[in-house]
């Protein structure tokens, strides 16, 4: 049996079974044929969130933010830089709590920006406040299991 990981497509959100050894080999989605990894964070809404958080086999690092938040806007380029360094080991995503208030409420987000790391559908760690790119990468890697 081949060791495989389920990867949600950042474009169409379809689940793809990717052999673990090929995750870093630029796999494409079987449904929309777009790259499964772009090196950029993706914006998630209530419909696409569960495909990436609960059903995908990749760890998911989420930046809960809002457009009116100064520290959120300051951290956005750092989160973009971190995505290029952390993919394909994990997926990075942004949730606009202004546009998606139900997701902010579901996870009890009290301050923004807040980073939350999910593995296997469970939240493993949370970090409120803006961080630099090296700090985001370090924080995410130190909280990954194994």
Could you say which of 9, 12, 32, 72 is catalytic? Answer: 72
Query: How wide is the angle at C-alpha 69 spanned by C-alphas 61 and 138, nearest 5°?
Result: 30
In this structure, the strands spanning 114-119 and 122-128 are: antiparallel
d(CA 126, CA 2): 33
**Cβ–Cβ < 8 Å for 10, 25:** no
Q: Residue 55 carries which DSSP code?
A: I
Q: Establish whether 9 is a catalytic residue.
A: no
Q: Establish whether 32 is a catalytic residue.
A: no
Residues involved in catalysis: 69, 72
């Amino acid at each position: 049996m081949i060791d495989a990981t389920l990867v949600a497509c950042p474009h169409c959100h379809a689940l793809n079974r990717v052999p673990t050894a090929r995750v870093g080999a630029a796999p494409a989605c079987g449904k929309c044929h777009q790259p499964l990894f772009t090196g950029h964070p993706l914006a998630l809404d209530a419909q696409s969130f569960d495909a990436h958080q609960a059903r995908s086999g990749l760890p998911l690092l989420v930046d809960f933010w809002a457009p009116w938040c100064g520290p959120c806007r300051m951290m956005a380029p750092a989160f973009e830089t971190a995505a290029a360094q952390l993919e394909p080991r994990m997926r990075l995503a942004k949730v606009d709590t202004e546009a998606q208030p139900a997701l902010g409420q579901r996870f009890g987000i009290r301050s923004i920006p807040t980073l939350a790391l999910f593995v296997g559908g469970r939240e493993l760690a949370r970090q409120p406040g803006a961080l630099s790119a090296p700090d985001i990468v370090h924080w995410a890697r130190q909280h990954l299991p194994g």
